[in-house]
Structures are given as C-alpha cells and as structure tokens.
Amino acid sequence: MSIYTPQTFAARDGTVIARLVRDHPFATLITPGDPEPFISHLPLELAADRGPHGMLLGHMARANSHWRHFGNGASVAVFHGPHAYVSPSWYVDPATAVPTWNYAVAHVHGLAAPMRDQTETRALLDRLVRRYEAGRAQPWQLQLGGRPLEALLGAIVGFRLHIERVDTKLKFSQNRSAEDRDRVIAALRGESHPEATATAAWMESYARDG
C-alpha cells in the first residue's frame, strides 16, 4: 500500500515526519483482513527511541476484533496533517492553472502486536492522559484502583506498531514559482479558518525554497 508521491512533494526529513505524527496524532489504522481490511480511528503515540525506526503505541476496545488480526500482514497508520483548498485565482497567472489541494500526510507501515502486560497498557494510558490534559487549569487524572481499574484495563487492548517504513508527502505548492507560493501563503492566512492558517504555516516552514 503505497502513496503516490512525485519527488517534488516527497519528505525525507525525520524531524518533519516526527512533527507531523506528533502534532496530528489521531490516525487511521488499517490492517489486512479477509474479506476486507480492518480500519480503526484512534490516537497513536510516537516512541522514536524504541526500535531501529521507532514505534507507535496505542490502544483500542477489546470488543473491536481489529487487534485479533495483528500479524496477518503489515498495518498502516495514516496521519493527516494540515490541508486546505488552493484557488487558481491566487496565482500570478490564474488562467493557466486549475484548483488543487495542499496537504501533509504520513503513511507509517509496520507490524502491530498486542501488549501482553497490563502494566505497560496502564503506563500508556497515563502518558496519554498527561499529554492531552497538560495545560488545563485542573488536569484530570486516572484515579481508579482495584477492581474498577482491572475492569478498565480488561476492556481495552494496548498495542505496539514496530515502524518499518514511513511514506510522507508534503504537497505545499513546491511545483509553483516562489511568487506563487508566497501568494498562496498570504491567501490562506486571509481565509480565517484554522486548517488554512496551519497549512500556510507549514508552507512557510517547508516549501518556501521549493
């Protein structure tokens, strides 16, 4: 399962890839199945220091049969970064262009396997809670213990995805002139919605020089 990526839009900078996965952690996880693949939508945590190419950590409901098919083949986690519509009217010569969409996406390939130790699953939950509660005036904490905690951990399955390959595409008008890219960035900033603003910021970081 590969992603169509012209060389102009290919990203090989590990820092860029890590930023995309960390800043946009809600992923689509796809695992081969018969008669059709299993697909789940869930946040994934990047552990870049675990394994030769890093690892993704996550959890899903035990009632979701997806995890039972880990190992049938490589899974793919798809991370969608910022994206926005680009109007030809923003270019220097709009008559010779067509509408398009700028976006960032990463396909992370690897073998997934369930966590067998509930201690590891609990540690993952604690990390996720700390991450997503950070910055709140009164951060929520997981305070369950005893049987309620055992019931919670028994109802989910933690898993690891050992990263084998990452295909990353940054389509940020690199095929246009520097003047056109600057005009697209300015126009996106004027759109006044978060995705357009985020796309403009990523373009400034990664496509300014073509």
Residue 10 DSSP label: B
Residue 129: predicted pLDDT? 93
Nearest to 44 by CA among 23, 22, 25, 18: 25
Domain assignment of residue 1, yes or no: no
- C-alpha span between 189 and 199 (Å, rounded): 9
Evaluate whether residue 134 is within a structural domain. Answer: yes
Quick: pLDDT tens for 75-117: 999 999 999 999 999 999 999 899 999 999 999 999 999 999 8
Cβ atoms of 66 and 59 within 8 Å: the answer is: no
- The C-alpha atoms of residue 105 and residue 86 are separated, in whole angstroms, by 17
Whether 178 is in a domain gets the answer yes
pLDDT > 50? residue 210: no
From the list 168, 162, 165, 166, the residue with the least C-alpha distance to 56 is 162
- Size (the chain), residues: 210
Of residues 4 and 26, more confidently modeled: 26
Would you say residue 210 lies in a domain?
no
Q: Using one digit for the tens of pLDDT, what is the confidence trace for 37-73?
A: 999 999 999 998 888 889 999 999 999 999 999 988 9
User: Quick check: helix, strand or coil at residue 45?
Assistant: strand
Q: Alpha carbon 14 to chain centroid distance?
A: 14
Q: What global pTM score does this model have?
A: 0.92
- In tens, the pLDDT along 174-198 reads 999 999 999 999 999 999 899 999 9
Domain span at 15: 7-203
Residue 146 lies in a domain: yes
In-domain check, residue 2: no
Number of domains in the chain: 1
Does 135 fall in a domain?
yes
- In a domain? residue 208: no
Contact (Cβ atoms closer than 8 angstroms) between residue 152 and residue 144: yes
- The domain spanning residue 189 has which CATH number? 2.30.110.10
Mean pLDDT of the chain: 93
Burial of 187 from C-beta contacts in 10 A (0-12 / 13-18 / 19+): middle
19, 46 Cβ separation under 8 angstroms:
no
